A and B are shown apart, each in its own frame.
Chain A
Amino acid sequence: MPSAVLFSKISRHFGAVRAIDDLDLEIAPGEFFAMLGPSGSGKTTCLRLIAGFEQPTSGHLEIFGETMEGVPPYRRNVNTVFQDYALFPHMNIAENVAYGLMIRGVGKAERLRAAGEALEMVQLPGYGARRPGQLSGGQRQRVALARALVNKPKVLLLDEPLGALDLKLREQMQEELKVLQRTLDITFVFVTHDQGEALSMADRVAVFSDGKIMQVGTPQDIYQKPRSRFVADFVGSSNVLPPDFVETLTGLSLWASLRPEAITITDQGGYEAQAISQSYLGGSTRLGLSLNGLRLNAVVPAGKPVPESGETVRIDWDRNALHLMEAS
């Protein structure tokens, strides 16, 4: 079976700006795939290339084995949930959801029935007669989702789908999106700058920086085995250790990452460090440390004593937790 989405050597340049540079990527059918990166890293351009709003400057794009060269967005069996939802303000909710079917010539009764079903699926039954302006942000997003899914796309694209929602709603939608994706068995590709969102929802994550993919892998891979300083920095609050320090530990002059929760406070052995700051996080406390001038973050679980600022403590970590990075 062909890949759901295949980028081979794709570049997209805007004048002198290389939004995407010589990019290779494969997304498997039925996968929940996240594109993670800071703004301007090229992830949104990637999404727009799949949708067809942008065309590659060079390279080759396939969707389910079919080349997308010269295929405009309206002929791609791919639908998008826009960041601002882009609900048509002059249509009611049912007409919005039925829009794609209307364009394809599905009869009125039939398409309104389908729109009703889709609205039920996103838990907005009976909202058909309302206007987009009468809905909350979360509801509008569900409508946007129904409007895309009613067309049964081969690939669903989501552009920062949860960006505009508040925390509680965001967590709820994350769950729902995962369940929807499993039951519908549609390939989901979503773009986000929120690493927590990417890690918790996706089967696989691609980390973008400056138009290139820094690393692709499962959330566990990305989190525990970052391949470069950028990934270690961007995904979570990892401690990044410089090569000269790592050399004293391992004999290898390489950058390494160390997760805060791997650092423990011990009575003896390990290293001497100074406590600098404490941030109470509820379930735990984040402790800022200075190890001969090297800043480190550690996590002190609830119930354990938290050292005061200025106090000297001994810290240690499991040698296996130290992850050496191939790239700088």
Chain B
Amino acid sequence: MVASSSSVPDGAAMSGGSPAERPAILPGRGGFFGAFSDRVWRSQGFLLLLLLAPPVLWLGIIYLGSLFALLLQSFFSIDEFTGLIQYHFTLSTYGELFRPTNLDIIVRTVLMASSVTLASAILAFPVAYFAARYARGKWKALFYIGVMLPLWSSYLVKVYAWKLILAKEGILTWLFAKLHLTWLLDGWLSLPIIGGYSLSVSYTGTFLVFLYVWLPFMILPIQAALERVPGSYLEASSDLGAQPWQTFRHILFPLALPGIAAGSIFTFSLTLGDYIIPQIVGSSRLFIGQAVYTQQGTAGNIPLAAAFAVVPIIIMGFYLWMAKRMGAFNAL
């Protein structure tokens, strides 16, 4: 590991060895390691190439390659009689997306993603604001862990927990009964569209689970954005005569907006592509993720599945472009 010690005469620190006797160039350690190090020093590009090659090759071939394969499949079509994939270029599969049933699926998913995003921003803000401005020391750590744990803990377990909660015989029904509010729950369930036989088979249930599962992804970026707002801004605002809500409206909210935009990238994208939550909690009407899953699985229509999968990519591409203009990436 180390070079020959000949370069340091008898290791004496500050004594002995007049300056003139010491060489200006020390011996290198030679061999492969020496030669390699010299090569790295001589050109930055060489090191960069060595560092980047494995990850870029991996992601480029496996990931981008797969995305390309997906895109390719979406331009094929399926023979309606034989059920076999026809490997020549066509846009007819994309045309199928515009059938009313499929268009319904897309609209439904985008509406759900939007309402989940909006609700999680509202719910996340006070938590993020408290953590950023008031929590100190032990509390700060507790808040951080308090958000990190649900963020990282098992997705399926979280969904499962809500299946337990929303079940007809579950804790929520019991709670409403205890509070003598059963009428409220029943009233809600009798509403068109958002209601249903029980919460676990209604859009309301689906919405709650989405909200729950993605909420931490909204809190962290908002908190990060708020951490950068000096407390003196708020003091200055109230010093200049602003009411608390005016300070929020004119100072806090605009400065938190990049964080909200960053968080919404997650909540929006994750909702768009999820197929498990609506499958386990919700009505039988499909979301994009489920459409992809069933088309490629039971229906065996991989081209249509691929075309469906391209929809969230396009929506997210547009969304990211907007978010970038709002400066969301600095808050990630």
Q: Are B41 and A63 in contact (CB under 8 A)?
A: no
Segment 95-117 of B: residues with Cβ below 8 Å from A: none
Bits for B1-18, please: 1 = Cβ < 8 Å to A, else 0. 011110110011110011
Q: Are B11 and A110 in contact (CB under 8 A)?
A: yes
A232 within 8 A of B: no
B26 within 8 A of A: yes
A243: B residues at CB distance < 8 A: none
A147-155, A246-254, A276-284, A315-323: which lies at the interface = A147-155
B23: A residues at CB distance < 8 A: 66, 77
Q: Are A107 and B25 in contact (CB under 8 A)?
A: no
Contacting A65 at CB < 8 Å: which of B2, B3, B12, B24? B24
Using a Cβ cutoff of 8 Å, how many contacts connect chains A and B? 86
Q: Are B25 and A77 in contact (CB under 8 A)?
A: yes
Given A73-B41, A74-B37, A186-B19, CB of A106 within 8 Å of CB of B11: yes
A80 CB → nearest B CB, Å: 15
A118: B residues at CB distance < 8 A: 13-14
A63: B residues at CB distance < 8 A: 24-25
Contacting B25 at CB < 8 Å: which of A76, A113, A115? A76
Contacting A104 at CB < 8 Å: which of B5, B14, B25? B5
- Which of B3, B5, B17, B19 has the most C-beta atoms of chain A within 10 angstroms of its own C-beta? B19
B136: A residues at CB distance < 8 A: none
Q: Are A104 and B2 in contact (CB under 8 A)?
A: yes
Q: Are B11 and A107 in contact (CB under 8 A)?
A: yes
Bits for A79-106, please: 1 = Cβ < 8 Å to B, else 0. 0000000000000000000000111111
B28: A residues at CB distance < 8 A: 72, 74-75
Q: Are B19 and A154 in contact (CB under 8 A)?
A: yes
Q: Are B13 and A114 in contact (CB under 8 A)?
A: yes
Binding site for A on B (CB under 8 A): 2-5, 7-8, 11-14, 17-20, 22-28, 37-38, 41-42
Binding site for B on A (CB under 8 A): 1, 29-30, 52, 55, 63-66, 68, 70-78, 101-107, 110-111, 113-115, 117-118, 121, 149-152, 154, 184-186
> Given known contacts A29-B20, A63-B24, A70-B38, what 11 new A-B pairs fall within 8 Å (CB)?
A72-B37, A72-B38, A72-B42, A101-B8, A103-B3, A104-B7, A104-B8, A106-B11, A115-B13, A154-B22, A154-B24
